[in-house]
Amino acid sequence: MRNILMVDDEKAFLQAGKEMLELIDKELRVSTAYNGKDALEILASSSIDLVVSDLRMPVMDGYELIARMSRRHQEIPVIVLTAYGSAEIKDRLIQQGTVYLEKPIDFRILLNEITKILKNKVRNTIHGFSLVSFLQLFEIEQKTKTLKVTSKNKLGYLYIKKGAIIDAAALNLQGEDAAIEIIGWDNTEIELLPQVHKEKRITSSLMHILLKATQTKDESMPSENYLLDNAIHLVQGCHFKKARSILTQLLKNSPRNAKAWLWYSRIAGNMKTIEASLTNARKLAPEDIEIIDEIKKFNAISLIINSKNQTNAQAKKSVRRCPFCWTPAEINARQCYYCKAHFFINKQIFSQRNSAPESYQIIIFKNAIKRYSEVISCEKNITANYYLGLAHLNLAQWEKAITFLHQTVKLAPKKKQFAEQLRFVLNHIASIRPASEAAPDTNHSSRKAYLGPDRKKILVVEDSSTTRKVIAITLSQNDYHVIEACDGIEALSRLNEHKPDLIILDIILPKMDGFKILSIIKSNSDFKETPVIMLTSKDGFIDKMKGRIAGSTAYLTKPFEPQKLIETIKKNLP
């Protein structure tokens, strides 16, 4: 059974309507109400599929009924009946998508409309009547009412006399300013109140107020370019949910924005949506280089993904995107098909990066570095820091890679996977980068102490900036203070300044070698008991003997294992 509620103050009309509709269609059950108040009680206690209502009724008219239904019964469509209609009212209702019928009514025509709405599940929009439409209808019918208007936490009142707004109040505003403010609100709820006596404070016509409100709202709304720029920034910062919301609204309002379609394709989660978005972008901007390149990448890998998807049901539903070149990949893929970038750090990333990256890969990774650098300049972003480290790693820029990976660990100390991946990189770099292969660091401003409260202080004297950074981050990860020096002169200066608990000392250094520094340290009464671990790529017997004779505590050769270094420190640190 389908339940219809008819609302009208003419009892004879209601009785005739109920009998005729139920006689013609045995599947209909018709309830009746004499005014809007009675109708609301029925709606609250019964399941109603559709409401047929007159506009003019005592106690509560059709306008107020519709307003209250917009808050409590939005899912129920409404058919409007009236014997006092006009061309203006009819046009306005039709523009709002509302079914409008004039009395006297042929009940077969009414039944046809009811059947059409229920069959097609057409949702009548009169329950969502906008405030502007209410005001225009009130003007046509010369109604006198007070409208209580709410929007989120905002409350306002419009005082209407014979269809004209004579006063308004909202927030701290009065009169015309208040009316303009209220009309500009979104998602309003309207409650019709009895007339309140008010002096006429507003003399402008309704049309003037509506135009002014529209102009004010348009001026306060962000521009299309602003919304697109904001969405792009959110995509670049991996805030995909927020970006999708903005892009969806932007494309709804501006469906011919090619750039918006391009960026929407970059956050789409399946191949069909990506393809449709890129197709729209190409139609709108067929000569745009960025769009052309994106389509080429999509076409290049779509066959691969579709082929793999034949045996992978999950992959049919969703794909992931390369964080560097935006190319789609299977949801469980570990590497980009196009730029060959790895999505996380593993053994393959080192074995496959033995050869220099190709020119197109260099461009992709440099663009990604620029993009993520801009993100972290504006916000603390764990994901952007991680991808920066990965981008530098793909370019074999070891020092920068571990810098950003170390920053990622500091931003997300509870996520153990980041610390594990950083240790993996440190171990690899330490095993392949002897100091003799690296140029001395002459940029003193780039060196810093990795400090923290109540930790043992370790002075690292190493001329290779990459090796020194590997050691520094390894020690920092194990809760040590780190003081850096790149040559012998700077080492002695920092020795007096910081008074470290242990010294890691390279032998091959500019200005003054490690043996000379060690002898100076051991001849000083303040530091002669400080343990010194000698570190060098030379592993000959004579070099080891020199270190021991000069008074070193331990001796490690490069390449070294970071864990072995930590074990040696713990063994010799007092």
Do residue 47 and residue 100 come from a single domain? yes
Distance CA 76, CA 79 (A): 10
CA torsion, ordered 37, 39, 41, 42, to nearest 10 deg:
170
How many CB atoms sit inside 10 A of residue 316's CB?
16
pLDDT of residue 389: 92
pLDDT of residue 25: 79
Which SS3 state, helix, strand or coil, does residue 441 take?
A: coil
8 in any annotated domain: yes
CATH (domain of 421): 1.25.40.10
Nearest CA to 50 out of 83, 21, 75 is that of: 75
Cα–Cα–Cα angle for 223, 151, 155, nearest 5°? 125
Structure-token pair, residue 20? 């005729």
pLDDT of residue 77: 81
CATH (domain of 451): 3.40.50.2300
Do residue 489 and residue 522 come from a single domain? yes
Do residue 465 and residue 556 come from a single domain? yes
Please provide residue 99's backbone torsions phi and psi, each rounded to the nearest 5 degrees. -75, 125
Domain boundary, last residue among 98, 129, 160: 129
Do residue 483 and residue 526 come from a single domain? yes
Do residue 385 and residue 259 come from a single domain? no
Do residue 562 and residue 492 come from a single domain? yes
Residues whose CB falls within 8 Å of the CB of residue 192, separated by 6 or more in sequence, listed in order = 61, 63, 64, 67, 145, 146, 147, 148
Asked if 148 contacts 193 with a C-beta cutoff of 8 angstroms, the reply is: yes
Strand 481-485, strand 502-506: pairing: unpaired
Domain boundary, last residue among 411, 432, 453: 432
Residues whose CB falls within 8 Å of the CB of residue 333, separated by 6 or more in sequence, listed in order = 320, 343
Do residue 385 and residue 398 come from a single domain? yes
Domain boundary, last residue among 390, 406, 432: 432
Residues whose CB falls within 8 Å of the CB of residue 238, separated by 6 or more in sequence, listed in order = 323, 381, 383, 384
- Cis check: omega of the bond before 104, within 30 degrees of 0: yes
Do residue 440 and residue 327 come from a single domain? no
Please provide residue 129's backbone torsions phi and psi, each rounded to the nearest 5 degrees. -50, 130
pLDDT of residue 166: 94
343 in any annotated domain: no
Distance CA 87, CA 85 (A): 7
pLDDT of residue 128: 47
Q: Which residues pair with 450 in a beta bridge?
A: 482
Question: Which single residue is written with the structure tokens 């003419």?
Answer: 10
Range of the domain at 390: 348-432
527 in any annotated domain: yes
79 in any annotated domain: yes
CA 108 remoteness from chain centre: 53
137 in any annotated domain: yes
Distance CA 446, CA 451 (A): 15
Distance CA 440, CA 343 (A): 32
How does pLDDT run along the chain (574 residues), one tens digit per residue? 788 899 998 888 888 888 888 887 788 888 999 998 899 989 888 888 888 888 888 888 887 887 777 667 766 788 888 776 666 666 666 555 567 787 777 777 888 888 877 766 544 333 445 788 788 888 887 888 888 888 877 889 999 998 899 999 998 899 999 999 999 888 788 887 767 778 899 999 999 999 998 888 777 667 788 889 999 999 999 999 999 999 998 898 889 999 999 999 999 988 889 999 999 999 999 999 999 999 988 988 887 766 654 544 444 457 889 999 999 988 888 888 888 888 888 766 776 555 667 888 899 999 999 999 999 988 899 999 999 999 998 888 888 888 898 889 889 988 888 888 888 888 777 766 443 444 445 454 445 555 555 678 999 998 888 888 888 888 888 888 899 988 888 888 888 888 899 999 988 888 788 888 888 888 888 888 899 998 877 555 555 566 555 678 888 887 778 888 999 999 988 7
Do residue 186 and residue 237 come from a single domain? no
DSSP 358: P
Do residue 166 and residue 86 come from a single domain? no
Do residue 325 and residue 264 come from a single domain? yes
How many structural domains is the chain composed of? 5
How many CB atoms sit inside 10 A of residue 497's CB?
11
Do residue 123 and residue 170 come from a single domain? no
Structure-token pair, residue 329? 């990949």
176 in any annotated domain: yes
CATH (domain of 238): 1.25.40
For the full predicted model, state whether its pTM sits above 0.85. no
